[in-house]
Structures are given as structure tokens and as C-alpha cells.
Chains A and B, each alone.
Chain A
């Protein structure tokens, strides 16, 4: 990897890093999948996946794919944050049909976002780490923005 400083012009040289690979994967077709946990003993779903089931204390919690669309419960556009993030950025809580609420970055013109809207999963770069490497994560975007 070439030597870089955390300057705007250099970051493009680096491969993006997924912020938390335990929460998501990117399939070969470039689609993001959000991953939670499913208890092998009682079936309880967790997000993020927990090492121990809070319902039955089983440690047999397996990875499971989460739904791809949900409903935006609330959001905010953050203007002041650590330098790692590209401000302003939109974040919100998305309610999934399996009963889980997921904190996520949102990708849309900020004035088009509204509580109650349907959003779908995608992925993208939201900032860069201290070494200048782009930070990639899952994102939700209004359903009509989907191709």
C-alpha cells in the first residue's frame, strides 16, 4: 500500500475499510447484507449479533441475514462530529420488519428524509479513519432511490 497522509487527494489510493465487518458483508454482486444473530436454541433475533442469547443464555447464537428494507423512525443531520466523518451527515433509526431497530447512516438529499418513510439497504463511504483510509458501511436510502 502506498504511503499516504490523511489528505483529501490521497485517500482515493487506499482500499475502503468496512467499519464493522461483524455487522455486514458485501456480496459478489456488490449488494450489502446486514447481519444479526439468531439463537439456535430459542430462535431469538439480536442485532448486533450477541455472543450469548439474552433470552435463554445459550451461546449458540448464529449469524443471520437481516431484512433489506425498513421504516425510518427518526433521523438527524449531524454538523459537528469527529474529523473522521464527512459532515454534515445524516443518521437515523430504521425499524426492520423483524422487530429490530438499526442505527444507520442515511443516503439521500437531507431535505427529502422524513420519519415514516420506507428505506432500503445499500452501502457507501461515510468518512475516513485516522490513517486516511476510507470508511465504508451499510447505509439506508429512500426506497424510490433504489435502481
Chain B
């Protein structure tokens, strides 16, 4: 196995682009990533493209816009973990020595569905009976509040922090600060969640260029090491499950820490899957940033806010940057790599040396989540 480096990053501002095609969302991100490291398209050994709802051959549609094609292009669907799973495939291709340089894309256009909650698979028996994604997380929140005494005001503070961060990220979809009171009084979606507890739907694209040590040296661009790359699936059960504990993420985190030779205490910055407010607190615990049931204390301490020692979602996370499902994983990777390079912009975490990205999701009856992918980056 050889080391793998991220040598180029690209992202478009997330938002709503109903008049753009998927390819038109994707190519500017790929171009930006290629320009950043000076690679030309003949050097690209393979392309991995993650999209959940973008349809067939999304990678081919994007790559034809930016130069010669003909390399293997693999399209990957894994719900919210689509492009982070693609990243893991790209990492494997280089780590194993099969390729020296690959491009990984995450691209999604949700405006084609016309808004509202995400279209779930109607073949799923729970969806067929009336399940919607916000309600699944809402039940986690309710049970967590029941078991640990978390209040809805404390939970609202997750959204306040996310939007504080996102307000200074030029690529965020929602760049508006909100108060606890505004979160509490916004429109009800699925109790206890009002609108501000839920991530927006929208469109987005991001890309990274991965390189072997040899190519990274040759290109001479700033290189950030991929210290861990892993993908896990949930454990199915039709029996009881503790919905206050993110078992899948915890299992993945343990593996990723082991792979990187790092612990929770070494992480300076993290982009985690805060699709709904409760998720952020549950993932603090799953990543061992704090003990179970104490996520809101960690949030209240300010340690996970900009200026803290374990800054979570400086980009604004899914709640503020946005969550075009399949694009999220690479958007997170771009954020962490730029944080470690020190050139992310106004929401810079000063001196960050190690960061992680985490995309998990997929609502299938009987699973905690369908998939989870975690990456750790170091400089």
C-alpha cells in the first residue's frame, strides 16, 4: 500500500440551480480541482463519481466537458455516502498502486424533484406506510430527549452554531444567522423539529484530485495526506435498536482512528453529517468527542465552535452549507483539505493539523443507516 494525497480541490457554491444540468453543476468543480494542482486530463488514470439521484453515467456527463475522456469512469450510488464512497474507491485505486492519479466527483441536482422532503424509495415498507426522513431523525431526537433530558432549546443551539459558521462560508447555501428563538418559532416539520432543525435540499458539486506520492511530488502542489478511508454499512435488524446511539458511525470511527493511528483527541476539525440537529450531538458521541448523553454540554462549551479545539462543521455543515445528497461527501473532503492547507477563507480553523469527514445516511427500514463513510486527513 502506498500513501494517497489530495492535491486538488474544487467546489461550487451550493444552492438551487433549477436551470443548470447535472454536467453544468459538475464541471466547474472538476476544472477548479485540476487547475489547483496543474494536472491535465491525460494524466487522469480513473474517475469516480458519486451521485445518489443524478441518473446514469453522471461521471461521463461531467468529464466530457473538461477534456479528453476514455479513462475508466465509475459511477457510485450509496445514498448520502455516494461521493464519500467514491472517494474511498479512488483512495483504494491509488493505495493499491493501480493508478497514480484519479479524480473523484460528487454531484447532485435535487431541484429536479421540485422541492419538499427527499423522494424516498416507495418500495420500502415504512415509506409506504408514511415514513418521511425528518420523522426518522425526529424520533431519534425525541428518544434522546426522553433518555438524557436534552431540551428542545439545547437542540436548537445546534442550528444556531451551524448557521453562525455557514454565514462566513461563501460556498454555503444558507448564509443567514439564526437565533434560538427563530429556530423555535419556525414552521413545524416533524415534531420536535421545526424547519431550522432540518438541512435544506438543493444542488451542488465538488471534486478532488488524488495522487500517489510520486505524482504529488511531480505536480508540486500542496498535498494533504488521506490518513484513513473507510466505508461501512449498517447492521440490519427488525428487532429493537437504541436509536439514541449511532452504532454505525461509532464502528466506522473506531476503524478510521485505528487506520490513521490517531484518536479523537488528535482531531482539530471535523465535517460530520448533521442532516438534522440531533445528528450532530449523536455523532459527537459516536466519534468519542464526548461521552454518551453529553453532546449538548460539548456544544455549549464552545469547543466545537470556531475558535474551539475540536471545531465541528466550520463550513456550516449540512444544515447551512446544504446537502445535495450525493455531493456532500466530497464537499466535506474539500472543506477539510482546505482547512488543513490553511486557505479555506473566513471560517478558517487556525493551525488545524488533522481533520475528518463523515457522510452517512440512507433510510432503509431496519437499518440504523444504509451506509457510512469516514475519512481522516492530515498535514
With both chains docked as a complex, state the minimum distance between the C-beta of B195 and any C-beta of chain A, in angstroms.
Answer: 9
**For the complex, what is the distance from the CA of A46 to the CA of B187, rounded to whole Å?**
38
Q: Are A91 and B143 in contact (CB under 8 A)?
A: no
The residues of B that contact A101 with a CB separation of less than 8 Å are 238-241
Q: Which of A73, A116, A127 has the most CB of B within 10 A?
A: A73
Q: Are B191 and A77 in contact (CB under 8 A)?
A: yes
Assess whether B96 is interfacial by the CB under 8 Å rule: no
Assess whether B131 is interfacial by the CB under 8 Å rule: yes
Q: Are B142 and A103 in contact (CB under 8 A)?
A: no
Q: Are B146 and A74 in contact (CB under 8 A)?
A: yes
User: Chain A binding site: helix, strand, loop or mixed by DSSP?
Assistant: strand
- B139 touches which one: A47, A76, A137 (CB < 8 A)? A76
The residues of B that contact A47 with a CB separation of less than 8 Å are 238
Q: Are B190 and A74 in contact (CB under 8 A)?
A: no
Name the residue of chain B whose CB is nearest to the CB of A84: B130
Chain B: residues with Cβ within 8 Å of the partner, total of: 31
1/0 contact trace for A101-117 toward B, CB 8 Å? 10111000010000110
Assess whether B129 is interfacial by the CB under 8 Å rule: yes
Q: Are A74 and B142 in contact (CB under 8 A)?
A: yes
The residues of A that contact B191 with a CB separation of less than 8 Å are 76-79, 110
**For the complex, what is the distance from the CA of A74 to the CA of B139, rounded to whole Å?**
5
Q: Are A100 and B238 in contact (CB under 8 A)?
A: yes
Name the residue of chain A whose CB is nearest to the CB of B241: A101
In the complex, which residues 182-227 of chain B have their Cβ closer than 8 Å to any Cβ of chain A?
Answer: 187-193
With both chains docked as a complex, state the minimum distance between the C-beta of A22 and any C-beta of chain B, in angstroms.
Answer: 9
Q: Are A48 and B125 in contact (CB under 8 A)?
A: yes
Q: Are A81 and B117 in contact (CB under 8 A)?
A: yes
Q: Are B190 and A80 in contact (CB under 8 A)?
A: yes
The answer to whether residues A78 and B130 also contact, given A46-B238, A101-B241 and a CB cut-off of 8 A, is yes
The residues of A that contact B139 with a CB separation of less than 8 Å are 73-76, 92-93
**For the complex, what is the distance from the CA of A47 to the CA of B236, rounded to whole Å?**
12
Assess whether B138 is interfacial by the CB under 8 Å rule: yes
1/0 contact trace for A77-97 toward B, CB 8 Å? 111111001001101110100
Q: Are A20 and B125 in contact (CB under 8 A)?
A: yes
With both chains docked as a complex, state the minimum distance between the C-beta of A115 and any C-beta of chain B, in angstroms.
Answer: 5
Name the residue of chain B whose CB is nearest to the CB of A138: B129
The residues of A that contact B189 with a CB separation of less than 8 Å are 78-80
The residues of A that contact B236 with a CB separation of less than 8 Å are 54
**For the complex, what is the distance from the CA of A46 to the CA of B184, rounded to whole Å?**
40
- B128 touches which one: A20, A76, A88, A93 (CB < 8 A)? A20
**For the complex, what is the distance from the CA of A88 to the CA of B301, rounded to whole Å?**
36
Assess whether A53 is interfacial by the CB under 8 Å rule: no
The residues of B that contact A82 with a CB separation of less than 8 Å are 116
Assess whether B135 is interfacial by the CB under 8 Å rule: yes
Q: Are A79 and B131 in contact (CB under 8 A)?
A: no
The residues of B that contact A73 with a CB separation of less than 8 Å are 139, 143, 240, 243
**For the complex, what is the distance from the CA of A5 to the CA of B293, rounded to whole Å?**
50
Q: Are B240 and A99 in contact (CB under 8 A)?
A: yes
**For the complex, what is the distance from the CA of A60 to the CA of B132, rounded to whole Å?**
33
The residues of A that contact B190 with a CB separation of less than 8 Å are 76-80
Assess whether A126 is interfacial by the CB under 8 Å rule: yes
Q: Are A91 and B238 in contact (CB under 8 A)?
A: no
Chosen A-B contacts, 22 in total, with CB atoms closer than 8 Å, are A20-B125, A48-B125, A73-B139, A73-B240, A74-B140, A75-B139, A76-B192, A78-B189, A79-B189, A79-B190, A80-B116, A81-B130, A82-B116, A85-B130, A92-B139, A93-B243, A99-B239, A99-B240, A100-B239, A101-B239, A103-B126, A127-B130
**B interface residue numbers (CB < 8 A to A):** 116-117, 125-126, 128-132, 134-135, 138-140, 142-143, 146, 187-193, 236, 238-241, 243, 365
Besides A76-B139, A77-B190, A80-B189, 13 other A-B contacts (C-beta < 8 A): A23-B125, A76-B190, A78-B191, A79-B187, A80-B116, A81-B130, A81-B132, A82-B116, A89-B130, A93-B243, A100-B238, A103-B365, A115-B146
